[in-house]
A = this chain, B = another copy of it.
Amino acid sequence: MAKKDKQEFVSYITPRSEDFSQWYTDVILQTGLCDYAPVRGCMIVRPYGYAIWERIQAEMDARFKAVGTENVYFPMLIPESLLLKEAEHVEGFAPEVAWVTQGGTEKLQERLAVRPTSETIFCTMFAKWTQTWRDLPMKYNQWCSVMRWEKATRPFLRTSEFLWQEGHTIHATAEEAQEETLTMLEIYREVAEDVLALPVYVGQKSEKEKFAGARATYSMEAMMQDGKALQAGTSHNFGTNFSEAYGIQFQNKEGKLQYAEETSWGVSTRLIGAIVMTHGDERGLRLPPKIAPIQAVILPIAAHKPGVTEASEKLEKELREAGIRVKLDDRDTVSAGFKFNDWELKGVPVRLEVGPRDLENGVVTVFRRDTFEKTTLPLEGLADAVKALLDDIQKELYNQAKAFRDARTVEVHNMDELAAQVEQGFAKAMWCGERACEDEIKEKFNASSRNMPFNQDEMRFGDTCVCCGKKASKVMYFAKAY
């Protein structure tokens, strides 16, 4: 950005091109999405950030319920003995558990984990509640926070505590459980792409990268503007792995005892980080209209001139009644210039400037945040025009992000190509399926396997592993990742 632009900013944001990481931090703090908390590795989600989360929740929750999911709430504390029952799971989570050891004045006989995830306690209750095939499926979800004692943290992306939803379901058959796993993944993809304008690759994780205790993990992977991957949601099929450890048995239609098939799936406030790092620009946030807490802001220009305030208020009412999330910024304590920058920083998709000259001509000046285009539109029928504009911005943000992602996804055929490609985006590679090759790629280039697309046969573009050169039948995305 030119120097002139910087001066216009409400607050100084590090140029994105100069230091992407610092740009991200500047944007999330200065837009009031969040703040650092006086607790190690934790953040505070401030009103503007929480309003986005509420919209994500509403979009997800409606879809969960539409497929028969029910919401519940389970305790945040889990006795250590429950955690210990599934070996892989414990190994995966134990190093990052926060422990309650004292309650009031009493030293506890058994340590209690602040939940890092709730499989163990859901399984305990599923075992109690499940008698016969008539009790199945149980499809539960909870919105809550979880705690993972992370060493390196960054707001929204990796914090000691974060907000998420965790779905836990049990089923009578393996087919049903697999269907559930993929149905939830598809809901995640739909919300990511259609609502958050985040293009994602969906597919299966490797054995190395799957969830601790799962038989198969599926994920959606988004690409940030620095070319790095962000795992934006996961869906796991546990088979009977946890059922066997926790004794979730039911009498099937034939009268025989059988272990239930289980899934779990989750998305978190990470999605807010993904929105920032996918759509943000030098001026700050650019929020997809469907998720923007404020879709259009009305700025009265020369509000003391006759008719300006009245017209602004009338317009606000019209847009609100048309279902647009609108805000009239009638502050008289800051300049118009300050307001322009403030709302651009906050990524409000559309700005409407209501000034005396425009009013004489029966128009308002309309600014779209995604392209910086300024135009005038007639006051008459403005609500419909704004709606159309919001739709267009939604599509445009998705298309931009997808074009970026596609351009930075490249098929690689050897380690040199892979090394170069993971510096700028996703490397699509043939892979033998062996962990040794994943480890080598990780060690050499700090890149990890992301996921394997579902339509493997169509996508295959070679038959030797990018790393070891042995026979390969799997297409895998590799990338550096958050």
Chain A residues with a Cβ under 8 A of chain B: 35, 37-40, 42-47, 50-51, 53-54, 70-79, 82, 95-106, 111-112, 114, 121, 124-125, 128-129, 134, 140, 144-145, 147, 149, 160-161, 163, 333
Q: Is B125 a contact partner of A44 (Cβ separation < 8 A)?
A: yes
State how many copies of this chain the complex holds. Answer: 2
Q: Which residues of B contact A72 (CB under 8 A)?
A: 44-47, 50
User: Which residue in B39, B95, B124, B128 is a CB contact (below 8 Å) of A104?
Assistant: B95
* Residue from the set A37, A42, A103, A112 with the largest chain B CB neighbour count within 10 Å: A103
Give A38 to B147 CA distance when docked, in angstroms.
19
Q: Which residues of B contact A149 (CB under 8 A)?
A: 103-104, 106
A49 to chain B, nearest CB (A): 8
Q: Is B76 a contact partner of A44 (Cβ separation < 8 A)?
A: no
Ranked nearest first, the 9 interchain pairs of A and B with the lowest CB-CB distance are: A47-B70, A42-B75, A103-B149, A45-B73, A104-B149, A99-B102, A39-B75, A101-B101, A37-B75
Q: Is A47 a contact partner of B71 (Cβ separation < 8 A)?
A: yes
Give A267 to B228 CA distance when docked, in angstroms.
43
A169 to chain B, nearest CB (A): 12
List 21 interface pairs A-B (beta carbons < 8 Å), by A numbering. Answer: A37-B75, A39-B79, A44-B73, A46-B72, A47-B72, A47-B140, A50-B70, A51-B70, A53-B73, A54-B71, A73-B163, A76-B114, A76-B147, A77-B114, A95-B104, A98-B103, A100-B101, A100-B114, A102-B111, A106-B149, A114-B114
Identify the closest chain B residue to A138 (Cβ). Answer: B47
User: Which residue in B40, B51, B101 is a CB contact (below 8 Å) of A99?
Assistant: B101
Q: Which residues of B contact A333 (CB under 8 A)?
A: 134
Identify the closest chain B residue to A75 (Cβ). Answer: B42
Identify the closest chain B residue to A109 (Cβ). Answer: B40
Give A258 to B40 CA distance when docked, in angstroms.
30
Give A72 to B149 CA distance when docked, in angstroms.
22
Q: Is A75 a contact partner of B125 (Cβ separation < 8 A)?
A: no
Give A382 to B50 CA distance when docked, in angstroms.
42
Q: Is B73 a contact partner of A39 (Cβ separation < 8 A)?
A: no
User: Which residue in B45, B96, B97, B121 is a CB contact (below 8 Å) of A38?
Assistant: B121
Give A70 to B327 CA distance when docked, in angstroms.
15
Q: Which residues of B contact A104 (CB under 8 A)?
A: 95-98, 149
User: Which residue in B37, B78, B101, B102 is a CB contact (below 8 Å) of A121?
Assistant: B37
Q: Which residues of B contact A101 (CB under 8 A)?
A: 99-102
Q: Which residues of B contact A114 (CB under 8 A)?
A: 76-77, 100, 114
